[in-house]
A and B are shown apart, each in its own frame.
Chain A
Amino acid sequence: MGLDDIFTASVFASAIRLATPYIFAALGETFAQRSGVLNLGVDGIMLMGAFTGFYAVFSAQQAGAMSEPVSLVFGVLVALIIGALMGLAMAFVSVTLKAKQGISGIGVYLFGLGLSELLFQQWVGTPKSVSGFPRLNFPVLTDLPVLGEILFHHNLLVYVAFALVPISAYVLNNTTFGLMIRAVGQNPEAADAMGVNVTRVRYATTTIGGMLAGLAGASLSIALINLFQQNLTAGQGFIAVALVYFGGWRPWAVAAGALLFSFVNALQLQIKVIGADIPSEFAVMAPYVITIIALVFAAKRQEQPTALTRPYERGE
């Protein structure tokens, strides 16, 4: 077995697919953190988005009430709404009630973990699959050798995720809203003095973060895996938070980190498939070890938003 058994086109293709939920969740978290809110509950929101999105599609398809594409759009909408609601709750807790963000996030995580499992057991029972977002075929492009498989044969949400990277970068760096987000995260006192409503901006970013986390979950349950089961995300939301640190709060770098992480993951799966002589446990462990090492190197050069995790107290 040689290197070309490991670095196949399908490994690159699956790296891109696997990066999708990370990109959604990490971009959303980037918005929240740039404004100064650390939302550690991403994984819980992802789970709720994954379950509710799945359940919406599942029941719509069971009832035959909608055509397949409509049911999928419905599922995405439900996941976005649930994500937004949980993001809003997180904003209320950390902005209005000024709760300690690291810990309250763990609470949100446990809540999402428990509730998604509870509802799943109550309403669905055993893992059942839905017909999720189909892989797209582009004229000419999909038939290209190698590149076609790697780039042009994914489901719609994969492309949406990657399209969000330049959009997020543009919004953060080139719009008034982005300027307000950065100001609020860097120096809330000054932003407030300039007439920026710190509370409103943080509510907005945390809600956007929640929506994208919900979408990240749905991208697993109705596009990548097409089913829901207990703890479907298995901690992917936490990795997404780590990716934000790793990418130094810049959307392009965050997405690059997501790609790198999922590439390691895809490699790890491939190594299992071809039965290489590496204990599978070490292969599964590798992405996490690499994340820690990456954080060690990233932490040295990075400057985090000054007001991250710091609730804003208006000085009187």
Chain B
Amino acid sequence: MNKVSQSALAARLNRLIDFSPVIIALALAMLVSSILLIALDADPLAAFSAMLEGSVGSENATAETLVKATPILFVGIGITIAFRGGMINIGGEGQMIAGALAGVTVALVLGEARVPADMAKTPGAFDLIIVTLSLLGGFLAGALYGGLAGFLKAYFNVNEILSTIMLNQIAVQMMNFLLNGILLDPSEAGFNNIPKTARLVTAAQLPRLSLPLGDPWLFARTRLHWGLIIAIVLAVLIYIFLWRTSLGYRIRAVGENERASSFAGINVKRQMMFSMFLAGGFAGLAGVVQVLGLQYRLQTDGSPAGFTGSAGFNGIVAALFGGLNPIGAIPASAFFGGLLVGAQKMQRELGVPASLITAVNGLVVVFVVSSEIFIQQRSKRRVSVSEEEDG
């Protein structure tokens, strides 16, 4: 008993220390972006303060930060599972799209079935069954799409990085095809406008979220929705799943050492598929939640990031930044949501293009994985601790 709690404490400490590369990465990224900003003739301090103000400077800014953070967190949780399981899932974008397509279809069909057309325009309460089934549909579609890459890796030795990248492109085209075809908003047909589905009835929408602070309630007049709460709850559940259940342990064991896991009797192929299945599922949730909670319809400009807003990639950054820990992914997502929203303000005020953030995100990834060498000693200790956890 004593030994168990001691090693659990040690494990917790070690996971805490996991965040040290993040701090190094953050400092380096700020340094490099300052240099970039100076090179672009912009004052770094003014840029950073514009970003801060744009991301948390007002009630609406904070809400927008959290709105942007929500899909990133969903994807980030999934990426955390995949990376912990040794699968480098770059397919968040495609899996989001798969989830959104399936989820919006369920929501449209059920919404129409349960709500008569003439009532659809009058406001009403959301319908738990429709929303739940739509979310499940989105999860499942994303999971199958991610699982496909896991299957190809497990049974055909196809590199999952490459297959997920190809699957991203395929998903974009599939979305364009469906949104120009059977999913096209009937009232848009023949107009050649933006390809989009019909608007969801209120019953199929995720409700907006506000907090009972002040009058009117905090965030009552913003676009913040319940997707954030769902994501946070799931982050905690996945943390428990990964570190407190034997199934989660097996996923991590395969990620730490494939061969040893295989000798220990773990079905490595099945774990690979399973971690990709879960990862895809969470990206799928990111997609369907964007539709149900924010846009109330699926629409795209036809470009790869037209629907996802690159959350499939930003989720990777957030997962790494969160120390490959679902709980850590919560503040990490909020941080990157803030960066994205703040960058728009920076662009407006200083004329520095918001694409600076994409470059900085890339640097953060490089710095986080590069600084791992400095904590290698610690990670070696972590392996021995997780072995104790098993025993």
Instruction: Check: A66 CB closer than 8 A to any chain B CB.
Output: no
Chain B's closest residue to A241 (CB) is: B162
Instruction: Check: A112 CB closer than 8 A to any chain B CB.
Output: yes
- Among A94-129, those with CB < 8 Å from B are 97-100, 102-104, 106-115, 117-118, 121-122
Report A284-305 CB contacts with B as 1/0, cut-off 8 Å.
Answer: 1100110110011001100000
Instruction: Return chain A residues, CB-CB under 8 Å to B40.
Output: 118, 122
Chain B: number of interface residues, binned into ranges: 35 or more
Q: How far is the CB of A192 from chain B (nearest CB, A)?
A: 19
- Among B134-186, those with CB < 8 Å from A are 152, 156-159, 161-163, 165-167, 169-170, 173-174, 176-177, 180-181
Instruction: Check: B316 CB closer than 8 A to any chain A CB.
Output: yes
Q: How far is the CB of B318 from chain A (nearest CB, A)?
A: 13
Contacts A99-B373, A113-B358, A295-B158; is A107 near B167 (CB within 8 Å)? no
Instruction: Check: B47 CB closer than 8 A to any chain A CB.
Output: no
Residue of A104, A114, A122, A292 near B366 (CB, 8 A) is A104
Q: A93 contacts B177, CB within 8 Å? A: no
Instruction: Check: B88 CB closer than 8 A to any chain A CB.
Output: yes
Q: A117 contacts B362, CB within 8 Å? A: no
Instruction: Check: A181 CB closer than 8 A to any chain B CB.
Output: no
Chain A: number of interface residues, binned into ranges: 35 or more
Instruction: Return chain A residues, CB-CB under 8 Å to B180.
Output: 281
Which secondary structure dominates chain A's binding surface? Answer: helix
| Total inter-chain residue pairs, C-beta < 8 Å | 144
Q: B163 contacts A292, CB within 8 Å? A: yes
**Which of B109-117, B196-204, B349-357 binds A?**
B349-357
Q: B366 contacts A108, CB within 8 Å? A: yes
Instruction: Return chain A residues, CB-CB under 8 Å to B166.
Output: 238, 242, 288-289, 291-292
* Alpha-carbon distance between A117 and B355 when the two chains are bound, in angstroms: 6
Chain A's closest residue to B181 (CB) is: A279
14 extra interface residue pairs, beta carbon distance < 8 Å, beyond A118-B40, A245-B162, A299-B157 = A106-B90, A106-B316, A107-B363, A110-B358, A110-B362, A111-B366, A114-B357, A121-B355, A122-B40, A235-B165, A284-B173, A291-B166, A292-B152, A292-B163
Q: Would you give 28 A-B contacts (Cβ < 8 Å), ordered by A?
A: A97-B373, A107-B362, A107-B367, A107-B369, A110-B317, A110-B365, A111-B362, A111-B366, A113-B355, A114-B361, A115-B36, A117-B355, A117-B358, A118-B40, A118-B353, A121-B353, A234-B304, A242-B165, A245-B159, A245-B162, A279-B177, A281-B174, A282-B177, A285-B174, A291-B166, A292-B167, A295-B162, A299-B159
